[in-house]
Amino acid sequence: MTDRLPGQLDPRALSAARRALHHAAQLVSGVGDSLLPARADYTHSAVAWSEDHGPRLVGQPLPSGHRVALQLLDGALVVDDASGAAVARLTVAGSTPADALAKLGEALVACGAAARGVKLSAPDWDMPPLDGPTLPAVDAAAAAELARWYGLASLILEDVKRAWAGASDVIVWPHHFDIATLIAIDPDPHAAGARSVGVGLSPGDGSYDEPYVYVSPYPAPETLPPLRDVEARDSGWIGYVIRGSTVAGWAADGRAARLADAVQRAVKQAHALAKG
Asked if residue 95 and residue 153 are part of one domain, the reply reads: no
* pLDDT number for residue 190: 84
* pLDDT number for residue 192: 92
3-state helix, strand, coil in the chain (%, to 5): 35, 20, 45
When pLDDT is cut at 50, 70 and 90, the band that residue 3 belongs to is low
Give the mean pLDDT of 126-136: 92
Asked if residue 35 and residue 83 are part of one domain, the reply reads: yes
According to DSSP H, which parts of 8-96 are helical?
15-35
Asked if residue 250 and residue 145 are part of one domain, the reply reads: yes
Asked if residue 220 and residue 100 are part of one domain, the reply reads: no
Asked if residue 199 and residue 93 are part of one domain, the reply reads: no
Tell me if 121 is assigned to some domain.
no
Residue 230 has pLDDT above 60, yes or no: yes
Under DSSP, the state recorded for 146 is H
Tell me if 126 is assigned to some domain.
no
- The string of pLDDT tens digits covering residues 208-224 is 999 999 999 999 999 99
Instruction: Tell me how many domains the chain contains.
Output: 2
According to DSSP H, which parts of 134-216 are helical?
140-163
- The string of pLDDT tens digits covering residues 60-80 is 999 999 999 999 999 999 999
The answer for residues whose C-beta is within 8 angstroms of residue 243's C-beta and 6 or more apart is 11, 208, 210, 211, 212, 231
Tell me if 40 is assigned to some domain.
yes
Q: Which of 60, 94, 110 is the last residue of a domain?
A: 110
Q: Give 249: exposed, middle or buried? Use CB within 10 Å, 0-12, 13-18, 19+.
A: exposed
Give the mean pLDDT of 133-145: 97
Asked if residue 68 and residue 167 are part of one domain, the reply reads: no
* pLDDT number for residue 40: 86
CA atoms within 13 A on the CB side of 208: 23
Amino acid at 105: G
Q: What's the chain's average pLDDT?
A: 96
Asked if residue 146 and residue 105 are part of one domain, the reply reads: no
| Number of C-beta neighbours around residue 133 at 10 A | 10
Tell me if 198 is assigned to some domain.
yes
- The string of pLDDT tens digits covering residues 89-128 is 999 999 999 999 999 999 999 999 999 999 999 988 899 9
Cα–Cα distance between 127 and 112 in angstroms, integer? 31
Asked if residue 151 and residue 242 are part of one domain, the reply reads: yes
Longest distance between any two alpha carbons in the chain, whole Å: 57
Q: Which of 67, 89, 110 is the last residue of a domain?
A: 110
**Domain extent at residue 78:** 7-110
Tell me if 52 is assigned to some domain.
yes
Asked if residue 162 and residue 55 are part of one domain, the reply reads: no
Tell me if 1 is assigned to some domain.
no
Asked if residue 94 and residue 150 are part of one domain, the reply reads: no
